[in-house]
Structure 1
Amino acid sequence: MFFIMFVLSLIFTGVSCSKDDMTSFNVVDFGAVDGGKTDSSQAFLEAWMAACNGEIAHVTSQVIVPEKMSFLVNPVTFSGPCKVKNINFLVFGTIIAPDSPSNWDEQDASEWVVFKTVSRLMVGGLGTIDGRGKGWWDQSCRGNPESKGCTKLAPTALKFLSCNDSSLRNIFITNSPQTHVLLHWSYGFVIDYVNIQSPESSPNTDGIHIHASHHLAITNSRIGSGDDCISVGDYVSYLDIVNIYCGPGHGISIGSLGSSGNVVQVENIRVINAILNRTTNGARIKTWQMGRGHVRGVTFENMRFISVKYPIIIDQNYCDIRGKCKELDTGVQISQVLYRGMYGTSFTDAAIVLNCSRVVPCYGISMEYIRLTPAITERRVTAECGNAYGQEFEVEPGPCLVQIKDGYKGAKSMAASPNISK
């Protein structure tokens, strides 16, 4: 936990200020209109610019979205760097998105509220950010792949680009058109006490997605969505995911990685203390065969599964269309993965599935103190491993791994098996 405390100290050093060191800018004072029907984007931008460009470099500036009020905000980007040392964006009321995709005509359809190149930023306030995503879900290609007018791209509710030593905390985010929180190219970022909720049927609505970012923490949060609760993309390192409730959704996933044949670099990821309730997957790592590079130094520890379809999965042969991907002579190396203290119930027979590459096997896999039982009493659960090498201690169901001392000889390939982790 030292890393988490270190990051927290970075964020809050200098943030606690006297009233004389704090300057606040209420969006209403800049023309924002309560009621959620009048576009208040310009008022929000003007309040942001006033706070960001404060005259006194050592103070904390605050943008205030007042409680018991609702504001309609069209796509907007809050840019830095700021002159002030610290800047807070405090949502006590509700920010709502336009309810029609047509409001994004001639604009970037992947963005709604964006914070860009802002350091020492804190977004929070116990308020609500409502993406009103139904219009986007209804035309999504995920649910209507054959439709000529379907949409593959939809806005992220909150996007943080190059925001260092910053945080998102104490906020409710709901009904994002696509991913709820997206973090790119950032360092020293903490997400804490965040509540994310969208319908299980909403397509591509990951709770939190991380890409190309380092030294991060996601803690004490509750996430339910139509896709991964938390997904870890490429070029991510030193990420702690601690005290998470996930459900509904597709679980906590590293990947998918390497879809374009790129070199993958993901390492030092820890998932500790998580409850996954009726999710599609539990602890998952998924990579495409055409990828290269590595995923290593991953820990899944103290996780409880409640009627999860596939609690523990590694899939090095990931394919978006079941049965359509041929086996290749490439792959992302997955190594040094620890599963410890995993227990609960599996909704399917396949409680443990490690579908590793014949060419680039998984190695250094450790499984300790795992007990998975069937959610339906008359069924049984199994462990299926292909090309996975490591050690097991008190694992049920099992055994599954090929012991390191046995070498690679005789390992079976599962590349042609059904893609259960989609």
Structure 2
Amino acid sequence: MKILHFLLLSLLVTTLVLFHKASNVYARRHHHISNKQKNNKTLAPLISPVYAPARSPDYAPSIPSDPSYGPAANDTTATSCIFDVTDFGAVGDGDTDDTAAFKSAWKAACQVENGVVLAPNDFTFVITSTIFSGPCQPGLVFQVDGVLATPDGPDCWPESDSHKQWIVFYRLDNMSFTGTGTIEGNGQKWWDLPCKPHKGPNGSTLPGPCDSPAMIRFFMSSNLVVSSLRIQNSPQFHMKFDGCQGVTIDKLSIFSPKLSPNTDGIHIENTKSVGIYNSLIHNGDDCISIGQGCADVEIDGVTCGPSHGISIGSLGVHNSRACVSNITVKNIIIRDSDNGLRIKTWQGGAGSVSGISFENIQMENVRNSVIIDQYYCLTKACRNETSAVYLTDVSYKNIKGTYDVRSPPIHFACSDTVACTNITMSEVELLPYEGVLVDDPFCWNAYGVQETLTIPPIDCLQDGMPESLAENVVSTGC
């Protein structure tokens, strides 16, 4: 019996010792957590930066603009490291300069795969003009859930900072700019500068420094996703893409007052394979503007207005060559705008605009609803030139609604020497917003066809092709 008691007591002591050792090991494992591990938080699924657009481009671009492209997009088990800017010293009180904290968070996130720079909600962060550059590891996310703001106007802008841009994303691949927050431009004091249009006495424009910063610029980057943010009150352009390839923009809200000067919503140039989807743009200039060097662009499900509509151009300034091709604009609403669907070029340019499709467009009180202007000029001193950017293969289908009667609803002013060709009109019905008089369209040296009876009838569109075209269109070089 004594032997049995001894064995049982030994077993109990051994069990207690082992349990105590295991507890100490567990405690030590959770007591020593490095500062680096604190910043490497796991990204919750609810703030995943990956969004699938409601529609995918009909074409197959060389670098897909669909954000589901790439191995990480569909891998929901992939973990991401969050670098919260408040962990790097950002205050977020709407007054303190948090630029250094954002730069430090960016530098850390750039070095890891699927890194996230997080500007959390319930904070207002102010940063000065900054370039966030790469190359970085793939899957980088810049996520704004709070408010990210510029300094408050020209007087608060650091003298050493560029007055032409605020945030620049440079040389990045497979990066997302997203979040549930707001990007605030504090543009009012820039718009009120006396050098801005109609701000001087009696509507004049006064001399003096007049540079105003574009708000967000992507430069020399690829495979980009921009989604879900509210971007407002930019001093100048809200968002620019230059020298990029493979861009998806989805579910953006862009807001500035109707009379804010030069506040284009989205501007792209020298950029290919672009999809712009399901967004709302209310601003003082072009809703979306497409500059030279753009190809394979789809704009689908966007509401514009008030604005200056959707513009291709201006192209060919200072006798330059411009090439734009394969642009699809569909399922669009344009309201209370100075222009609707516009293509504008300067005299003396070269190159071509081709493969343009406008389809399923609803107009509400739009001036210059459908316009091609190859005599674009900002002053009265522009000379007549014989060369021009060649426009061909432009289609308008199912364009309906009302127009502002101050201008004809359809205006095709093509170059004297280089005609516009292969313009196609189908199911175009535009009626006056006020009154009953339907204005006649205007055409000059424009060739094409009405596939259906349009309202108003476009009797001025010429059939066939001009005999002199081959002589004046030497080589577009596109």
Distance of 1:13 and 1:133 partners within structure 2: 40
Task: Report the counterpart of residue 170 of structure 1 in structure 2.
Answer: 228
Per-residue CA deviation, residues 105-159 of structure 1 (Å, 9 max, x unaligned), is: 23221110111111100001111000001111111433345313351x2111111
Distance of 2:78 and 2:342 partners within structure 1: 49
1:205 aligned onto 2:263: yes
Distance of 1:143 and 1:126 partners within structure 2: 36
Cα deviation, residue 284, structure 1? 0.3
Amino acid at match of 1:141: K
Helix, strand or coil: the match of 1:159? strand
Task: Report the counterpart of residue 464 of structure 2 in structure 1.
Answer: 405
**1:325-336 → structure 2 map (5 Å cutoff):** 325-336=382-393
Deviates further, 101-110 or 131-140:
101-110
Distance of 1:276 and 1:319 partners within structure 2: 24
Per-residue CA deviation, residues 312-362 of structure 1 (Å, 9 max, x unaligned), is: 0000111112x4323211111011000000000011250000000110110
Match of 2:184 among 120, 126, 130: 130
Amino acid at match of 1:341: N
Distance of 1:238 and 1:214 partners within structure 2: 6
CA gap of 1:375–1:40, structure 2 versus 1, over 3 A, is: same
Helix, strand or coil: the match of 2:454? strand
Per-residue CA deviation, residues 31-62 of structure 1 (Å, 9 max, x unaligned), is: 011211000001001000000012xxxx3111
Task: Report the counterpart of residue 149 of structure 1 in structure 2.
Answer: 208
CA gap of 1:130–1:253, structure 2 versus 1, over 3 A, is: same
**TM-score of the pair, normalised by structure 1:** 0.91
> In the alignment, is the contact (CA less than 8 A) between 1:4 and 1:217 conserved in 2?
no
Unaligned runs of 5+ residues in structure 1 are: 410-422
Unaligned runs of 5+ residues in structure 2 are: 1-56, 469-478
Aligned residues: 402
Cα deviation, residue 195, structure 1? 0.3
> In the alignment, is the contact (CA less than 8 A) between 2:421 and 2:465 conserved in 1?
no
CA gap of 1:160–1:405, structure 2 versus 1, over 3 A, is: closer
Distance of 1:30 and 1:19 partners within structure 2: 27
> In the alignment, is the contact (CA less than 8 A) between 1:161 and 1:186 conserved in 2?
yes
Amino acid at match of 1:133: G
Task: Report the counterpart of residue 142 of structure 2 in structure 1.
Answer: 89
> In the alignment, is the contact (CA less than 8 A) between 1:174 and 1:197 conserved in 2?
yes
Task: Report the counterpart of residue 115 of structure 1 in structure 2.
Answer: 169
1:365 aligned onto 2:423: yes
Distance of 2:67 and 2:226 partners within structure 1: 15
CA gap of 1:20–1:299, structure 2 versus 1, over 3 A, is: closer
1:215 aligned onto 2:269: no
Cα deviation, residue 378, structure 1? 3.5
1:251 aligned onto 2:309: yes
Match of 1:353 among 407, 411, 432: 411
Higher relative strand content: 1
Distance of 1:259 and 1:355 partners within structure 2: 17
Per-residue CA deviation, residues 190-247 of structure 1 (Å, 9 max, x unaligned), is: 1111000000110000000001000111111100111000000110000001111000
Task: Report the counterpart of residue 73 of structure 1 in structure 2.
Answer: 127
Structure exhibiting the larger radius of gyration computed from Cα positions: 2
Amino acid at match of 1:181: M
CA gap of 1:11–1:130, structure 2 versus 1, over 3 A, is: farther
1:280 aligned onto 2:334: no
Higher relative helix content: 2
**TM-score of the pair, normalised by structure 2:** 0.81
Task: Report the counterpart of residue 270 of structure 1 in structure 2.
Answer: 328
CA gap of 1:97–1:406, structure 2 versus 1, over 3 A, is: closer
What RMSD over aligned residues (CA atoms) do the two structures have, in Å? 1.7
Task: Report the counterpart of residue 311 of structure 1 in structure 2.
Answer: 369
Q: Percent identity of the aligned residues?
A: 35
